[in-house]
Structure 1
């Protein structure tokens, strides 16, 4: 039973230096914005005449990896959600009008797919991690 518990709660080794940990946190938050920019720019991708929102589908594993990385560095489950908060803030900025009236994200299904794929999988992962003891079979 204890081996199963340690297998579920085992993460990457903690960084010994708090300055290095803080730098990794800042890089993960910056990476959340950087990946959002790439996802938004490649969202209107077409192959022939067919829209292919591949970047929306890639948002799910990327954001889960960001949350996993943050959880490995901080050790606090609540703070592990910080990259997704930064990602959603950037999403809202991209969805609003710019100074010239330009909008990066249109009002269509691809934008909704990007939002759903960017938020739902990391939330589901954090929900699973916070309730890992409930999902374990005996």
Structure 2
């Protein structure tokens, strides 16, 4: 006696479980990306005044662009909402403003100079442009 096994029997529970796991892990991933944005800004501020010989080389400012675009890309893998895509960059901006302001001892980690401006522009403009592209790509596909 043989029993026929239906190949479709367990398929309805697997997508539900995957959707549940994705729904639970998405906020965790966004929180990790927000913390990662603050950590990367701290490292960028520490390495911003890097000198090679007597020449200032703001390599940290140039690395801020791909790192922040990668943070937005990682957030886009779990959400479609533009405001959630902005959370890592928003955390980066808040940490940037905190580093640019005067601390309790009167120290300022970020000075008012060209490398700081370059860090700000490289950290925000490419990531915001990438968010703009993602938002428009999703809006154009929703209209079709």
Same fold at TM > 0.5: yes
Question: 1: CA distance between counterparts of 2:20 and 2:127?
Answer: 23
1:94 is matched with which residue? 99
Within-5 A mapping of 1:42-53: 42-53=47-58
Task: Give the TM-score normalised by structure 1.
Answer: 0.82
Question: 2: CA distance between counterparts of 1:14 and 1:81?
Answer: 23
Q: CA RMSD in A?
A: 1.8
CA shift at 1:15, angstroms? Answer: 7.5
Question: 2: CA distance between counterparts of 1:120 and 1:37?
Answer: 19
Asked whether 1:27 is paired with 2:32, we answer yes
Question: 2: CA distance between counterparts of 1:17 and 1:53?
Answer: 38
1:77 is matched with which residue? 82
Task: Give the TM-score normalised by structure 2.
Answer: 0.79
Pairing partner for 2:44 from 27, 39, 44: 39
Unpaired runs of 5+ residues, structure 2, are 1-17
1:59 is matched with which residue? 64
Within-5 A mapping of 1:95-114: 95-114=100-119
Aligned residues: 122
Are residues 15 and 54 of structure 1, via their aligned partners in 2, closer, same or farther at CA, if it must alter by over 3 Å? farther
Unpaired runs of 5+ residues, structure 1, are 1-12
